[in-house]
Amino acid sequence: MRLILLLSAVLFFSVSCQAQPKNEFGLKVTSDIKQYKQEIKNNPILELVNLREYEGLFFDIKYATSENFTKEIIYPSAEAFARKQVATNLMRANKTFNERGLALKIFDAYRPYSATVKFYEIYRDTNYVASPYIGSRHNRGCAVDITLVDMETGEELPMPTAYDNFTEKAHPNFEDLPANLIANRDYLIETMQQFGFKVYPTEWWHFDFNGWEQFNLLDIKFEDLKEL
């Protein structure tokens, strides 16, 4: 009898753990649109919002073009989604930049997990590309790749490197640069920090939203999000 009880307890435990199966890299990733809808119903802070519906941001979604380190078009359309609180704070930061005649330009925001797996297959240096065993904060809707532009002309401010430059020059503490580049970069970093974003140690353009740990990994397609 005890054995049966034990066996049924083990069986129950293994079944309940399987509620959301782990993927081949040992992670739980929400890839089903129905599951995502249930998640945001249970907890509305999990909702991804479309940054294109906010006014005053500029966009150059590099992974929707072949102008990126993979040289391939990764995204079927040039979309930019983020969790609602991330979007709210981003817009607050943008307002501050506007006071100086500047605005944020988005290179990338929410990135479906399958794109992270693809990046890793192409470029295995996890200093620059997230490991599929961990996932990216972009997969959580909690990271943005950005720069500053003139809010009238849309022209980019000079920065230490172009986007996705995988060298030391892209590190936010790299100092062997002309003073104006350092000033532009540090102004971006310091202002974003005031609004709850932290720069990544090897990429001046990448910012993680503080509290990203509360948000799960997602592999929901842009097309599915647009239909909601």
With CB atoms as reference, the residue minimizing the distance to Zn ion is 206
Among 47, 60, 145, 208, binds Zn ion (CB under 5 A): 145
Residues 193-222 contacting Zn ion, CB under 5 A: 206
Applying CB under 5 A, the site for Zn ion has a residue count of 2
Nearer Cβ to Zn ion, position 47 or 145?
145
| Rounded Cα distance, 68 and 92, in Å | 28
Q: What does 8-76 look like in DSSP terms, one character per residue?
A: HHHHHHHHHHTTS---TTS--EE--HHHHHHHHHH-GGG-EEEGGGSTT-EE--GGGSS-STT-S--SS
- Provide, rounded to whole angstroms, the least separation between the CB of residue 188 and Zn ion: 14
- Provide, rounded to whole angstroms, the least separation between the CB of residue 166 and Zn ion: 12
- Provide, rounded to whole angstroms, the least separation between the CB of residue 38 and Zn ion: 28
State yes or no: residue 60 binds Zn ion (CB under 5 A): no
Beta-ladder partners of 83 = 48
- Provide, rounded to whole angstroms, the least separation between the CB of residue 13 and Zn ion: 37
| Rounded Cα distance, 116 and 119, in Å | 5
| Rounded Cα distance, 83 and 150, in Å | 26
Enumerate binding residues for Zn ion (CB under 5 A): 145, 206
